[in-house]
Amino acid sequence: MPTDPTARRLVDLTPDECWTLATTRPVGRLAWNGPHGPTVVPVNFTLDGSNVHIRTTPYSAAAQEGDDSPVSFQVDSIDADDHTGWSVLMRGRAHFDYGGQRVAGGPEPWLSGPRSLPLRVEVIEVSGRRLVASD
Amino acid sequence: MPTDPTARRLVDLTPDECWTLATTRPVGRLAWNGPHGPTVVPVNFTLDGSNVHIRTTPYSAAAQEGDDSPVSFQVDSIDADDHTGWSVLMRGRAHFDYGGQRVAGGPEPWLSGPRSLPLRVEVIEVSGRRLVASD
C-alpha cells in the first residue's frame, strides 16, 4: 500500500530541544487560569535557561490574576501547508517584580507607554512535540 | 517631538472582527486548566459562528482533562518584524462527542491514526485586540 504523503505523527522533544526551539521564535503565549477560565495572550520574551522573561503592566489581566500562580508559556512553529511543526509547553510559576527593575537581557517592550512590570516565569517542567511525516 | 516609529498600541476588536480574523488562520490553540495548571496545544479547526470544531482522540490530555470544562481557544497573527498583529480569545465550554460522529465542515485531521473524537468548543465570550502603530 502506498504511503500516505499527508500522514503525520507526533514525536516527543527532549527538554534541551524544547529550550533551543523556543529561542527561535519572537513571540510565545502566556496562559493562566483566571476567574473566567484559561486566558492565553501572545507576548514577546527572552529565555535564560530556567526562566521566561516577559514585560507587562501592573494593570494587565496577567498581573491582576496570575501572580504567584501556576502558569504556562507556549511556543510553536507550524507549517500549515506541509502540516509539520513543533510546539513547546513550559509549565511554571509567575513572579511579578513590583520593584520594576529591568532584567538584563529581558525583552524590549513592543508597546508604547509604561510596560514597567517584569514578569518572570520560573519554569518547572518543559515538554514538547514535533509533528513529522510518517515513515 | 518626532513620533517613535516603533511605538505600538492595542485596539480592541469587535466580536465580528474576532470571528472573521480567526477564520483566516489554519491553526489555533486550545487551552484548559488541568491538574498541573494551564495546558496549551496547537490544533487545526473550523468555526461555524458559535462553535469551534476540533478533532482529537479519547486518549488525549484534552479529552482526559477538559470535558465539560471551561476552555479557551486562541488564534493570533503576529508580524515580528513590524511588531503588529492581532490576537483573539474565545472562551467557552468543551463538549466531546463520544458518539464520534463527523461534524459536517469539521476539520480534517493532520495526524495519521485514529483521531476519532470530535471536540466542540461552545463559545460563550469572544474578545480580541490588534497591535497597531501609534499615531
Predicted confidence (pLDDT) per residue in B65-111, tens digit:
877 789 999 999 999 888 899 999 999 999 988 876 666 678 888 88
- pLDDT above 80 for B19: yes
Percentage with pLDDT > 90 across chain B: 56
> In this structure, are strands A117-133 and A46-47 parallel, antiparallel, or unpaired?
unpaired
Length of chain A: 135
* pLDDT given at position A26: 93
Using the structure block, give the residue that is written with the C-alpha cell 494587565: A60
pTM for this one? 0.91
- pLDDT above 60 for B3: no
Q: For residues B42 and B73, is the Cβ–Cβ distance under 8 A?
A: no
* Overall average pLDDT of the B115-135 stretch: 90
* Overall average pLDDT of the B111-134 stretch: 88
Q: For residues A132 and A11, is the Cβ–Cβ distance under 8 A?
A: yes
Contact check, Cβ <8 Å, B33/A38: yes
Q: Closest approach of chain A CAs to the CA of B68, in angstroms?
A: 12
Mean pLDDT for back-to-back runs of 10 residues, chain A (135 residues): 69 97 96 92 94 89 85 95 94 86 74 80 97 84
Q: What is the pLDDT of residues B36-47, one digit of tens each?
A: 899 999 999 999
CB pairs under 8 A between A and B: 109
Contact check, Cβ <8 Å, A71/B38: yes
- pLDDT above 80 for B49: yes
Distance CA A60, CA A73 (A): 17
**Chain B residue at shortest CA distance from A128:** B41
* pLDDT given at position A95: 92
Report chain B residues whose CB lies below 8 A from the CB of A38.
Answer: 31-33, 38, 40, 70-72
* pLDDT given at position B58: 82
Give B111's DSSP letter: B
Distance CA B1, CA B108 (A): 53
Distance CA A124, CA B12 (A): 33
Q: For residues B47 and A81, is the Cβ–Cβ distance under 8 A?
A: no
* pLDDT given at position B28: 97
* pLDDT given at position B90: 98
Cβ neighbours around B7 below 10 Å, total: 14
Provide the Cα torsion B125, B61, B117, B50; round to 10°: 0
* Chain B residues with CB within 8 Å of chain A CB: 4, 6-10, 26-27, 29, 31-33, 36-42, 44, 70-72, 74, 76, 78, 80, 83, 85, 87, 89, 91, 110-113, 125, 131, 134
* pLDDT given at position A5: 65
Q: Closest approach of chain B CAs to the CA of A64, in angstroms?
A: 17
Q: For residues B30 and B93, is the Cβ–Cβ distance under 8 A?
A: no
Contact check, Cβ <8 Å, A32/B38: yes
Q: How many CA atoms lie within 13 A of A80 on its CB side?
A: 10
- pLDDT above 80 for B33: yes
* pLDDT given at position B70: 92
Q: Closest approach of chain B CAs to the CA of A20, in angstroms?
A: 19
Contact check, Cβ <8 Å, A33/B36: no
Q: In degrees, to the nearest 5, what angle opens at C-alpha A73 toward C-alphas A71 and A77?
A: 155
Give A29's DSSP letter: E
Nearest to B36 among A10, A83, A91 (CB): A91
Written as nine digits, the cell of A53 is 522573561
CB within 8 Å of A41: residues ≥ 6 apart:
A29, A30, A61, A62, B74, B87, B89
CB within 8 Å of B20: residues ≥ 6 apart:
none
